[in-house]
Amino acid sequence: MPRGYVFQPEVHKETKFTVDVTAAFELVWKRSGYKEQLSTDELTHRIAMIFFDLIGKANRGEIEMPFI
């Protein structure tokens, strides 16, 4: 009978964003703990950069990859 194992990934860093509304009734995003407001396009770019940084760290061996 095959068995599967699930590994709990170690969280190195967590970034949270919350949505807010400006005085002009525009939706903006804020990173938890920061006052900087991001548009949806800026948030998309920021998340992509976080992801690519994570991939780069994995490729350099800076992050343990238990499932590989």
Q: Looking at residue 31, what DSSP letter applies? A: E
Predicted local confidence at residue 14, as pLDDT: 84
Residue 51 one-letter amino acid:
F
* Residues 6-58: tens digit of each pLDDT: 555 555 678 899 999 999 999 999 998 888 999 999 999 999 999 999 889 88
Predicted local confidence at residue 20, as pLDDT: 92
* Structural domain boundaries in the chain: 17-59
Predicted local confidence at residue 67, as pLDDT: 61
Reported pTM: 0.68
Q: Looking at residue 24, what DSSP letter applies? A: T
